[in-house]
Amino acid sequence: MKKMAAVQMCSSADVDENLQQASKWIAEAAENKASLVVLPEMFAIMGMNANDKILIREARGEGKIQSFLARMAREHRIWIVGGTIPLISKQENKVMAASLVYDDHGKLVAHYDKMHLFDVVLSSEEQYRESDTITAGNKIVTVDSPVGKLGLAVCYDVRFPELFRCLSDEGVEVIALPSAFTVPTGKAHWEILVRARAIENFCYVIAAAQGGNHVNGRKTWGHSMIVAPWGNVLAVLDDDKPGIIYAEMQNEKINEARQSIPVKQHRRILTDRRNLDHEN
């Protein structure tokens, strides 16, 4: 059995401070013999405003944040899903919200750009428009990892089950879901959505979240969790405080669930993927 870890952070606008915090959790995951650790969305920067991430964007394969992730993976001999970091977009004054996977030699082995952007109005005081500063991705991304075939998704993606069905069609056994849920949506929907995606596809979901009161005034829900294929919560942080959780990946649990209820064989509606690409 392989151990998986999810990190919860309360990231600030200070990149160096956030990397220092992440390094502590990555080291702890390695010490506890985790094979893979997932960091939350925007782990490297939660800016004072939406444009701050543009100021520290990096080219793919270059920059402080990517060098940090590669070095941590190599030094601690652990696979890392680097939450999301801002990478240069083809659109001026925008970034890609990139989830990067590094193997235990520090090599970049997968790159997923967040597909669904959080443009919502929760109240007159709380509104978000990610599309103002982020370019949406259009690739389904999977990669073979020590914990099985790994699929990548980010935060708001969890509300779009068709993406997870596409990942399931690619044969994923585990899905990494770095997130930064708001308090209202987190309280109402977070656990339900994460567990539903695991159940629908009979796979593990590692949901690593931001949590707490950020220096920019934003509040995030936390409650990071790792969910098994049957929908049972294997590990959870019961609050919004920084921390780390672990769970063991057991292939037989996936096989048992899929053989017991063979939903793939029973499907009558296929997912339309004309506007998507895939990478594995």
Active-site residue set: 41, 114, 155
Beta partners for 175?
A: 151, 205
Pick from 1, 2, 4: which is nearest to 227 by CA? 4
Beta strands at 95-102 and 134-135: parallel, antiparallel or unpaired? parallel
CB 77 within 8 A of CB 30: yes
Longest Cα–Cα distance of the chain, Å, equals 50
Secondary element (H or E) of residue 195: helix 191-201
3-state secondary structure of 204: strand
CA distances from 105 to 101, 235, 242 (A): 11, 27, 27
CB 222 within 8 A of CB 186: yes
Question: How is residue 11 written in tokens?
Answer: 């990231």
Question: How is residue 216 written in tokens?
Answer: 């920019």
Give the span between the Cα atoms of 266 and 244, in whole angstroms.
38
Secondary element (H or E) of residue 99: strand 95-102
| 55: CB partners within 8 A, 6+ apart | none
Secondary element (H or E) of residue 22: helix 15-31
